């Protein structure tokens, strides 16, 4: 029974992480960090052959959940974001807010000093600037071909390796977001294969470097992650409320509360699970 619950729990985590690959403004890497999976993902990717079978068994439900989240959202993302974007984003903000205390605690596992806090503030400012000015830097309509889909795959991989980076935002800026969503929905291999190649190459090139940073600068790197998560959360707060009535604002507040409660519950469940294991 315990193994079944654990499997389902990892599948649910994977669904949330997968949503970060396709929902604009949401970071799969940040969600992986919040769910306590980021470090294990990096160490697995940096040392594929080490404990290979054990890691594969562990990550199967996470991967299946991520794929499920991506495919399901690909079918409904256009409709949902067009009609209920504000409500959905407030729910995601709530989920992150509910789990931020857990991430803050995680960041201090090896201590916290003034330099760590400086890193956090600087990463917050840098990430905020990147997210604010990203559209003007990457704006335009790129033609969809094998090379540009590889770039999209590299961005998705960076969304895992660099928590807080939302790959969907930059793919949106490139003018390829809808094509990507349609490609996932129809299982178009001319989209999926180059995205997979670009993502795999990026992971192979950078995961070892990030693992070394983890080993040498754990506290600073986690405070860097915390700053970027704060910035990305700040950026997905909806600002468009045209034609909203009082009931609309009430629903936004309710979604924030529900998301926060879910995030808090998931964080508590994660802490409880860690103690058991």
Residue 197: its pLDDT value, please? 92
Higher-pLDDT residue of 266 and 205 is: 205
Query: For the chain, what are the domain ranges?
Result: 2-276
Highest mean pLDDT among 21-30, 111-120, 138-147, 214-223: 111-120
277 pLDDT higher than 50: no
- Percent of the residues in the chain that have a pLDDT greater than 70, as a whole number: 82
- Give the list of residues 6+ apart from residue 105 with CB closer than 8 angstroms, or none: none
- pLDDT band, very low/low/confident/very high, at 45 (cuts 50, 70, 90): confident
156 pLDDT higher than 90: no
Rounded Cα gap, residues 148 and 90, in angstroms = 31
Sign of CA pseudo-dihedral 131, 137, 143, 148: negative
User: First CA to last CA across the chain, in angstroms?
Assistant: 15
> Residue 275 belongs to what H/E stretch?
helix 246-276
- pLDDT band, very low/low/confident/very high, at 1 (cuts 50, 70, 90): low
Question: pLDDT of 47-105, one tens digit each?
Answer: 888 888 888 988 999 989 888 877 777 666 656 666 777 887 788 788 778 878 877 88
Rounded Cα gap, residues 265 and 261, in angstroms = 6
Question: pLDDT of 183-226, one tens digit each?
Answer: 877 778 888 899 989 988 988 888 888 888 878 888 888 888 78
Q: Are 115 and 220 in contact (CB under 8 A)?
A: yes
Question: Coil, strand or helix: which one is 245?
Answer: coil
Name the residue with tokens 């178009």: 188
- pLDDT band, very low/low/confident/very high, at 254 (cuts 50, 70, 90): very high
């Amino acid at each position: 029974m315990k193994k079944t619950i654990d499997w389902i729990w990892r599948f649910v985590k994977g669904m949330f992480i997968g949503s970060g690959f396709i929902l604009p403004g949401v970071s799969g890497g940040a969600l992986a960090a919040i769910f306590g999976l980021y470090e294990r993902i990096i160490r697995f990717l940096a040392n594929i052959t080490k404990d290979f079978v054990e890691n594969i068994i562990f990550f199967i439900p996470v991967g299946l959940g991520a794929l499920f989240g991506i495919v399901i959202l690909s079918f409904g993302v256009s409709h949902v974001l067009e009609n209920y974007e504000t409500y959905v984003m407030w729910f995601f903000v709530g989920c992150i807010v509910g789990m931020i205390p857990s991430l803050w605690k995680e960041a201090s596992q090896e201590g916290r000093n003034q330099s760590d806090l400086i890193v956090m503030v600087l990463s917050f400012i840098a990430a905020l600037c990147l997210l604010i000015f990203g559209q003007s830097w990457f704006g335009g309509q790129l033609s969809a071909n094998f090379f540009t889909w590889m770039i999209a795959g590299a961005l998705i991989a960076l969304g895992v390796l660099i928590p807080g980076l939302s790959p969907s935002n930059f793919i949106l800026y490139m003018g390829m977001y809808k094509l990507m969503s349609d490609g996932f929905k129809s299982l178009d291999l001319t989209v999926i294969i180059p995205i997979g190649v670009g993502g795999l190459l990026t992971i192979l090139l950078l995961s070892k470097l990030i693992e070394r940073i983890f080993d040498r600068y754990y506290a600073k790197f986690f405070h860097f992650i915390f700053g970027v998560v704060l910035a990305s959360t700040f950026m997905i707060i909806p600002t468009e409320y045209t034609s909203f009535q009082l009931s609309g604002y009430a629903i936004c507040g309710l979604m924030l509360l529900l998301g926060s409660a879910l995030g808090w519950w998931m964080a508590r469940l994660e802490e409880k699970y860690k103690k058991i294991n």
